[in-house]
Amino acid sequence: MDRGVTRILVLFALLLAFALPHPALAEPADIDAASRGVVRVIVVGEDGNQVFPISHGTGFAVSNERIVTNTHVIEEARKDERLSIGIVPSDGGEAVYARIVAFSPRNDLALLATTAPMRLPPLTIATNLDSDSGRVISVGYPMNVDRAQGLSEGDIFRTQPPVQSTGFLSGRRPSREFDTILHTAPIARGSSGGPLLDECGRVIGVNSFGAESGSADAEFFFAVSTRELLPFLRDNGVSVRTNGLPCRSLAELDEEERERAETEAEAQTAATQAEAAELAQQRAEVRREIEFDVLDERDNRFVFALLLIMIAGFAGAFGWLAYEREENRPMKIALGIAALAMVGAIVAWLSRPGLPEVEERLAQRMAASQQNEEVQPGNGGPSGVITLPDRGEQLICVIDTQRSRITGAQPEDLPLEWEEGGCVNGRAQYGLASGEWSRVFVPATEEVVTVNRYDPEAREYRIDRYLLGREEMIAARKVRGEYQAPGCNGGEETALKLGSDQAALLAMLPSQPNERLVYKCTEKPDE
């Protein structure tokens, strides 16, 4: 095929790729966070007190002091004992020397160990690359960029951020007897050994070499796949963070959360309306029943009063006859009965329930019915008292992958003991602010700030992780050092104070975390 036609087709394909809708998955903060674990790997020589670079490539941390790169990057140092390997971090800190732990020329992988602690943030290895398409990012130190910036040889020993370049996956294929990933994220000499990342900042390959091409041909590049990387690391005793879950954006999760909240609100509204309709129907039925009862009572009292009046009339007539006959004793008895009957008739008439009493009886009946529903004998202990499960709850929390954005290692289930005063697992006091329980953790050995939150009513536990740069972590540790976290069970005043103390830390954090883990908690089954 003519090169001109090929070039037009390639350009059309690229334009089509950009024109088609693409989900907003990539989070720049994730790529920046992963880049902090990327280092420049330099083969250096020494001449007296002078240290000078021979060549350089790229590497990335897979544990705090273990770095992956290409075998060909450190080949000269491997063959010549007079040469050394230097590691220059990308996010501050001093350069250190490294030693070779293992190398594999077959698949161009090498493992280095730093000779001094660097506290590098290890990258997560993705294990779910099932697609032959999608956006990817290469991170490394291409020499052509150094030359374009006019950097001298000595400048490469200084801390500098790595270069990020974006492209697309073009397939997986075996090459040179090992499994590789074909992609279009540009790399150049010096980028070898750097990570090829997915849009969540997880490693899907180790950049190794590029395809030769003329000026009219599209450029393609090869990365050693994780199918080669993971066995290599396992064989050398390196335990790495892996993640096989789909890459999802926070924007996507936030939209789903909004839709879920709306759906729950609509369902709650519908349930409230249905409950109100049921209550109204129940109230109407009870009203009719009470109205019939009141009418029956009024009729009965009326009949009873009429009967007493008739008795009073007969007794009065009998008394009158006795009076005419001058029979005093029968007269008094008859007149007494007539008086009593008349008084009883008056009482019966006046004690008839009035129509306003319908509303009073209705209110009493509805209140009694509601109380019976809330408190049932045997539902929580003696005398029907309900025991509220808000203190010393033994829970098991399971990750909700549909509501989580997991960029690190896949999380496991969490046991959680929650006490009413905000104590978690008997040792960590949570702060209370704006009705929310939370605890901010700023470790001294990791470049991450973690915010844990728990909602006792919803039984929802959430962990937000922020991967910060060196300067941001220094500032966060300084603010954290300005207050002392209290012990458990200090009361509401202690929880409120901790919530206030944490406010300054929370205000320093970015608007969105790099990782969000949402757990649903249920009562822990009896063992």
In tens, the pLDDT along 337-365 reads: 888 888 888 887 888 787 777 777 777 77
What confidence tens digit (pLDDT) does each residue in 125-175 have? 998 766 667 899 999 999 888 888 777 666 677 778 899 999 999 876 666
Q: What average pLDDT does range 491-507 have in this prediction?
A: 93
What confidence tens digit (pLDDT) does each residue in 21-40 have? 444 455 688 898 899 999 99
- Residue 14 pLDDT > 80, yes or no? no
d(CA 466, CA 388): 35
- Residue 500 pLDDT > 90, yes or no? yes
Q: What average pLDDT does range 446-469 have in this prediction?
A: 92
Q: Which pLDDT score, from 0 to 100, does residue 212 have?
A: 64
- Residue 386 pLDDT > 50, yes or no? no
Q: Which pLDDT score, from 0 to 100, does residue 396 have?
A: 94
Q: Which pLDDT score, from 0 to 100, does residue 338 have?
A: 83
What confidence tens digit (pLDDT) does each residue in 311-334 have? 888 888 888 888 888 778 888 888
> How far from 511 is each of 24, 29, 122, 356, 508, CA to CA, in Å?
17, 11, 23, 60, 9
Helices of type H across 201-246 = 226-235
What confidence tens digit (pLDDT) does each residue in 48-73 have? 888 888 999 999 999 888 999 999 99
Q: Which pLDDT score, from 0 to 100, does residue 453 have?
A: 96
Q: Which pLDDT score, from 0 to 100, does residue 218 have?
A: 57
What confidence tens digit (pLDDT) does each residue in 393-437 have? 899 999 998 899 888 877 889 999 999 889 999 889 999 999 999
Three-class DSSP category at 120:
coil
- Residue 489 pLDDT > 50, yes or no? yes
10 Å CB burial of residue 353 (0-12, 13-18, 19+) is: middle
Q: Which pLDDT score, from 0 to 100, does residue 151 have?
A: 72
Query: 0.75 cut: is pTM over it?
Result: no
CB 168 within 8 A of CB 17: yes
What confidence tens digit (pLDDT) does each residue in 231-288 have? 999 999 999 989 888 887 777 788 887 888 888 888 888 888 888 888 888 888 888 8
* Better pLDDT: 212 or 480: 480
| Helix, strand, coil content of the chain in percent (nearest 5) | 40, 30, 35
